[in-house]
Structure 1
Amino acid sequence: MSLAPAPSTLELTADVAIVGAGPVGLMIANYLGQRGVNVTLVEKLDTLIDYPRAIGLDDESLRTFQAVGLADKVLPHTTPWHAMRFLTPKGRCFADIQPKTDEFGWSRRNAFIQPLADRVLFDGLQRFSNVKVLFSRELDSFEQSDSAVVLNLKDQHGRSERLNARYLIGCDGGNSLVRRSLDISFEGKTAPNQWIVVDIANDPLATPHVYLCCDPVRPYVSAALPHGVRRFEFMVMPGETETELSKPENLRKLLSKVLPNPDRIELIRSRVYTHNARLAGRFRQGRVLLAGDAAHIMPVWQGQGYNSGMRDALNLAWKLALVIKGLAADSLLDSYEQERRDHAKAMINLSVLAGHVLAPPKRWQGTLRDGVSWLLNYLPPVKRYFVEMRFKPMPQYTRGALIVPTATGSPVGKMFIQPKVLTDAGTTVLLDEVIGDNFAIIAWGCDPTWGLSATQIAHWKALGTRFIQVLPDVQLRVPSDAGQDVIRVGDSSGRLKEWFALGTSSIALVRPDRFLAGLAIPQTVGQACDDLARALKAVPPTSANAVVSKVA
C-alpha cells in the first residue's frame, strides 16, 4: 500500500498581511478594507480574546471608529463623560479629572468593554470581500525582499501555508514575534510591583466613574464600566502570587477593603498583570511595520495603551492605502514612525507619572502629594489645568506628511476640530460625516477650488479629497456660486468660524486621520497643495503652477 504524497504548501496572497487580531490589527483591516485594499489578518488563537483588558476609550479613538463607520456600533458599549478621581487614604478627592470638552465630536473620556469593542471591529470586517481573517495560524517565520514579504504559517493541524504580501504589519502585542524576528530593541522598564484585576458582574457598588485610591498600604482602583460591570485593581504586595491571591479566602480579604459584603458578588474573572513601559527602537524596517503594543506598551493609569494603538492604526492605514494604490511613494511610510514614535513616548511618560501619583515609590512623596493637591484647590487656573486634562500631551506632528509650519504656535500638525454642521440637504451631522475617509480642503466663506488649476483639482480628487466650503448656516438658503466639486456646509454652532478666526488663514488642508496638514488663503492654496503633495510623496500634478481665476 503506497502512501499519498504530502500536500503541497498552500499559497496565499494579499496586499497587506496583518499579524494579530487585536484592536489595532482589526482597526487597520477595517480602514484598508473600505479603501479596497486586499488584506489578510492572521491570528494564532482560534477566536478573539474574550477577557476584559482596556477600560478607557478617548475621543480620538471614537473618531477613529467613526472613520471606519463603526462609531454607532461601539457607543452602546461605552459610558461617556467618565470622570477619574484620585482619593487620599481617608477618601478625600484631591484630583477630579472630568473634562467636558468635545472639540473632536465625542466625549473626551469614556469607559468601555474592550472585548465588545473588538467584536464590533471584527464584525465590521464582514462588510469587505477583500479582507480575510485566518484564525489558528501560527507565524513560524517571514522573509522580506525589495518587493514583498513572505510569511510562513502553520494551521491548527500543522499544515504549512505561505502568505505573500506587499507589506506586513506586526500587531502581535508586547511579546511581538515580528519585532523580535527583526531584532528591533524594546527598551524601557518593568514596574517592580504587579496588580491583580478583579471584574465583577452586577456591580455591587454601582457608583459612576473611576476612583484611584492612593493608599500607601495597598493602593487600589474602583471603576464603573458599562453593562453593570465593576473593576477593582489592587497592588500585589511582595511575596504574594496570582495563585494565592485568587483563592476565595484571599480574594475575599481584598474585596472586604472596598465592599461591605465581599461574599455577595458575581465574579467574572481575576488576573494578575505587570506594568511595562517600553518603546520599540523603530517602527519600520523595510516592508515590515509595527503598531500598537508591538511598538509600545505603557502602564494603564491614563488609559492610553489602547488609545495610542488606535492613533497608530489610522496614521498608518491611510498612508498605506495611498502607497498600495500607487498614489504615493513607499517613502511616505517613513512618516509613520516620524509622527507616532515621539508621541507614544510622551504617553508612556505620562502613564508612568500617573502611576507614581497613585502609588508613590516613597511614603514621604505621598504626603507631599496630598499637601500640594490640597493647595491646588485654591488656584483655579491650575486646578482647571488638571480637571480638563490639559496636561495630556496631544499629538502635534512637526515633521512628516505635512507642510512643516514656520510660525510659532501654528495649529498645523494638530488634530482638526469636529463640530456639527448643517448640510445642504438640511440635516445636522458631525463634520467627519461630510469628509468620509478622505482628505479635505476646508475653506471658510470662500470656494476652496478657486486658486487651484483643473490639473490640481483632478490630482487631489484622485487622492480622495472633499472640497468643503463652510458658511454661516443662513447662507445655505441661497444657491451655491462655488465650483461643481464643492460641498457646502453651514457652521450652525459657530465653532468653525471661531477656529478660523484664531489665525490668519481661511483654508485648512486636512488629512484622512483628521490632522491639519497645512494652511492657506485662496491666493496661496495652489502652492500649499503642491507643497503638501510633495510631503505626501504623491505623484505630482502635470501643471502644478497653473491657476484658474474666477470672474464675477
Structure 2
Amino acid sequence: MPLKPHYSVIVVGAGPTGLVIANILGVERVETLLLERNERTVSEPRAVSIDDESLRTIQGVGLVDTVLGDIVQGYGSHYFSPSGRPFARVQPAVQEYGFPRRSAFRQPVLEAQLREGLRHYSHVEARFSHRLEQFEQDAEGVTLRVLGPDGTLRTTRCDYLVGCDGSRSGVRERLGIAMDGSSFGERWLIVDLLGTPDRFRHTRVYCDPRRPAISLPGPNGTRRYEFMLHADERDEDLLREEVIRQMIGERSAGDRDLQIARKVVYAFHARVVQRWRDGRVFLAGDAAHLSPPFAGQGMNSGIRDALNLGWKLASVVRGELGPGLLDTYEQERKPHAWALIDMAMRIGRFMMPTGAVQAFMMQNLMRLLSVFPPARDYVMQMKFKPKPRYRAGFVVPDGAADSLSGRLFVQPQVESPGGRRMPLDDALGRGFRLLVFGPLPGDPLPEVQLPPALGAERFFIVPQDYNFPHPLPAGGERTMLRDCAGGIEAVLRPFTPCAVLLRPDRYVAAVIPFSHPEPACRSLAGLVEATQLPGK
C-alpha cells in the first residue's frame, strides 16, 4: 500500500515511546504515520518496571484496564547484606497519581497491547518493515524517503517528525546532535527466566561487593536476574549457560534450572542530547536520553516525553496554540530527565559497594534511618524520587517552593452527582480544565478570564464532607465532582479558595487565587500569545 502524500505527524520507531505518542495522537485525532523498520514489536524482554506516571498516561489513551491485567502491581525492593540478611526495604504504598509507584511488566506484552490500541484510529497508520532512509526539512514541513518491505523507495511529507528510534537513533545521527554525559565501564549480565516457583513479589537487591546482583519479579511466572561483571571477566565466558546457572543457583536453587528466555551483557550510560529539537524534528525516548537501569526509569522517561510532546503537537496541528508552544518541550523535559538519571546513579552506588567496609557502613546507616519515622518513610515510600515539576515552559511560576504550578496534579477518586465513582482524569476528559475549589456550590465566584484559545471547561469540586446542591445548576451533572476521600482538598488547602488550571497532560499550568486572579490570568494570556512566535 502506498504512503499518503502528507501526514500531520510522522513518528519513527515503534518502541514504547513511539507507540504511546502514536496512541496519544490517535486520541487527539491527528493524522499520524508510525514507521518501524522491524517486522513486529519486540519479542524479547527488555524494560521490566513501569511506574505510576506511565500507567496514568496509558489510562489517558484508554488502555490501562488491558495493561493492568498483565502486570504485577505495586512491587518494592528488599536489600540484602553480603551475608544474606535483609537490612532495608523500599515498599511504597501511596498512589497519589492513581496507580502503584512501581509495577513489573513484560515489554513484548505491553508493546503488543499498544500496537493493538492503534487499530481504534483510522487516522493513524502503523507501517512495520518500513525504514526511514533520509529526510530533509524546509519552512513548511519535512520530506521523507521511506524504504518499504518490497524494496520500493517512497516519498511522503509531514508537518512534524518525531524520532523515537532508540539509543542508536538514525534521526539523531542525521541531525548531527551530540549527547552530553558519560558511558560507564561496568557491565551487567541480564538473564530472563520463565516458570519460576518463586512467588516473592518484590525485588531482591544483593549488595555484595563480591558480585552485586538483583532478582526482579515479573508477571506470569517470569523473573529477571542481573549480575555485575568484573573488569577482568569476558562477556563470552559469562554468557555460557553453565556459568549463568551457577550464578543463579548461588541466589536461588529453585531458579537455577529454569528455561532461559534471554541473556545479554550490557554497559550503562548516563547521557542526554544537547538539543531535543531541530526545526520541525524532535527526539524522544532513548533517542533523547539514556539512563542507568538502577531506578527503572529509562522507558518511563520516554513515556513522559510522549505525553509532553503529544498534546503540544496536537494543539499546534489543530491551530489552537501557536508553534512556539513546541519550544517548551525541551524546556520542560530536559531538567527532569537529568534529575532521574542522577537518582539512578545514586541508587547504583548504593547497590554496588566497592568493598566490605563501604557495604557495612551503608547497611548500618539504613538500619539507623529506620528508627526515625520521617527518614524511614522517605526511603520506604520512594519520596527520594524527583517529582516532575516544570519551572519554565507553558506554566505560570510563582517562585514559591511549595507551589503547585508546574507540578503533576494528583489523581484521586471523585464522585459524580449520579453516584458514579471514577479516577479524576476519567471524569475530566481531554483538554485544558479549570478546577474550582473553595466556595461551596451556589456561593458567588469571582470572574476568572482565561484565554479562549485554551478552551478550558470548568469543573467545580465539592469537598468530601458536603453533598451536591439540589437542584443541580445547569450542566452540573457533568461539571460537578465530589472529592471522595479529600485528596484534592489536601493538595489545594493552602491555596483555597482558588482555581487550578490543568493542562491536557494534567500538569498544573497555573494556580489562580480568588483574592487576586488578575495577575495569573494575565500571565496565561501572555503564554498563549508567546506561542504565536515561530518555533526555533
| Distance in structure 1 (CA, Å) of the matches to 2:22 and 2:327 | 20
Letter in 2 for 1:480: L
| Distance in structure 1 (CA, Å) of the matches to 2:109 and 2:497 | 42
Match of 1:5 in 2: none
| Distance in structure 1 (CA, Å) of the matches to 2:255 and 2:498 | 60
Match of 1:219 in 2: 212
User: Is 1:94–1:370's contact at 8 Å kept on the other side of the alignment?
Assistant: yes
Match of 1:472 in 2: 463
Matched, 1:137 2:130: yes
Matched, 1:360 2:360: no
Matched, 1:155 2:159: no
Give the root-mean-square deviation of aligned CA atoms: 2.4
Q: Match for 1:370 among 363, 386, 396?
A: 363
| Distance in structure 2 (CA, Å) of the matches to 1:35 and 1:187 | 33
Q: Match for 1:318 among 308, 311, 317?
A: 311
The verdict on how the C-alpha distance between 1:219 and 1:305 changes in structure 2, with shifts beyond 3 A counting, is same
Match of 2:43 in 1: 50
Matched, 1:521 2:513: yes
User: Is 2:413–2:424's contact at 8 Å kept on the other side of the alignment?
Assistant: yes
**Secondary structure, in 3 states, of the residue corresponding to 2:264?**
strand
Q: Match for 1:283 among 276, 300, 304?
A: 276
The verdict on how the C-alpha distance between 1:539 and 1:186 changes in structure 2, with shifts beyond 3 A counting, is closer
User: Is 1:449–1:483's contact at 8 Å kept on the other side of the alignment?
Assistant: no
* TM score, norm. by length of structure 2: 0.93
Letter in 2 for 1:499: V
User: Is 1:86–1:211's contact at 8 Å kept on the other side of the alignment?
Assistant: yes
Report the Cα offset of residue 133 of structure 1. Answer: 0.8
Q: Match for 1:16 among 6, 9, 34?
A: 9
Report the Cα offset of residue 181 of structure 1. Answer: 1.1
Larger CA deviation: 253-262 vs 399-408: 253-262
Report the Cα offset of residue 59 of structure 1. Answer: 0.9
Q: Match for 2:481 among 486, 489, 496?
A: 489
| Distance in structure 2 (CA, Å) of the matches to 1:493 and 1:484 | 20
| Distance in structure 2 (CA, Å) of the matches to 1:230 and 1:373 | 27
Q: Deviations over 1:104-126 (max 9, x none)?
A: 11111211112211111111110
User: Is 1:328–1:538's contact at 8 Å kept on the other side of the alignment?
Assistant: no
Report the Cα offset of residue 186 of structure 1. Answer: 0.9
**Secondary structure, in 3 states, of the residue corresponding to 1:48?**
coil
Match of 2:226 in 1: 233
Letter in 1 for 2:458: F
Letter in 1 for 2:507: F
**Secondary structure, in 3 states, of the residue corresponding to 2:294?**
coil
**Secondary structure, in 3 states, of the residue corresponding to 1:77?**
coil
Letter in 2 for 1:167: Y
Q: Deviations over 1:451-505 (max 9, x none)?
A: 458xx67x64x64533100113642251223667970011221222222212244
Q: Deviations over 1:263-295 (max 9, x none)?
A: 531222212222111110011111011111111
Matched, 1:309 2:321: no
Report the Cα offset of residue 365 of structure 1. Answer: 3.0
Match of 1:418 in 2: 411
Report the Cα offset of residue 39 of structure 1. Answer: 0.5
Matched, 1:390 2:383: yes
Match of 2:69 in 1: 76
**Secondary structure, in 3 states, of the residue corresponding to 1:105?**
coil
User: Is 2:324–2:531's contact at 8 Å kept on the other side of the alignment?
Assistant: no
Q: Deviations over 1:413-441 (max 9, x none)?
A: 11111111110221000110111222110
Larger CA deviation: 245-254 vs 471-480: 471-480
Q: Deviations over 1:19-75 (max 9, x none)?
A: 100111111111111111000011111110111111111111111011111111110
Larger CA deviation: 159-168 vs 201-210: 201-210
- Equivalenced residue count is 529
The verdict on how the C-alpha distance between 1:526 and 1:134 changes in structure 2, with shifts beyond 3 A counting, is farther
Q: Deviations over 1:290-317 (max 9, x none)?
A: 1111110101111111111111111111
User: Is 2:495–2:513's contact at 8 Å kept on the other side of the alignment?
Assistant: no
**Secondary structure, in 3 states, of the residue corresponding to 1:493?**
coil
In the TM superposition, what are the counterparts of 1:154-303 in structure 2 within 5 Å?
154-260=147-253, 264-303=257-296
Q: Match for 1:65 among 47, 53, 58?
A: 58
Matched, 1:507 2:499: yes
5+ long unaligned stretches in structure 1:
1-8, 541-552
The verdict on how the C-alpha distance between 1:72 and 1:17 changes in structure 2, with shifts beyond 3 A counting, is same
User: Is 1:467–1:485's contact at 8 Å kept on the other side of the alignment?
Assistant: no
| Distance in structure 1 (CA, Å) of the matches to 2:444 and 2:216 | 50
Larger CA deviation: 411-420 vs 497-506: 497-506
Q: Deviations over 1:113-158 (max 9, x none)?
A: 1221111111111000010011111222111111101111112332
| Distance in structure 1 (CA, Å) of the matches to 2:133 and 2:419 | 55
Report the Cα offset of residue 10 of structure 1. Answer: 6.2
User: Is 2:182–2:269's contact at 8 Å kept on the other side of the alignment?
Assistant: yes
| Distance in structure 2 (CA, Å) of the matches to 1:536 and 1:340 | 20
Larger CA deviation: 409-418 vs 354-363: 354-363
The verdict on how the C-alpha distance between 1:12 and 1:424 changes in structure 2, with shifts beyond 3 A counting, is same
User: Is 1:279–1:296's contact at 8 Å kept on the other side of the alignment?
Assistant: yes
Match of 1:549 in 2: none
User: Is 1:104–1:418's contact at 8 Å kept on the other side of the alignment?
Assistant: yes
Q: Deviations over 1:142-192 (max 9, x none)?
A: 111111011111123321011200000110111111111111111222221
| Distance in structure 1 (CA, Å) of the matches to 2:176 and 2:72 | 40
Letter in 2 for 1:467: R
**Secondary structure, in 3 states, of the residue corresponding to 1:174?**
coil
* TM score, norm. by length of structure 1: 0.90
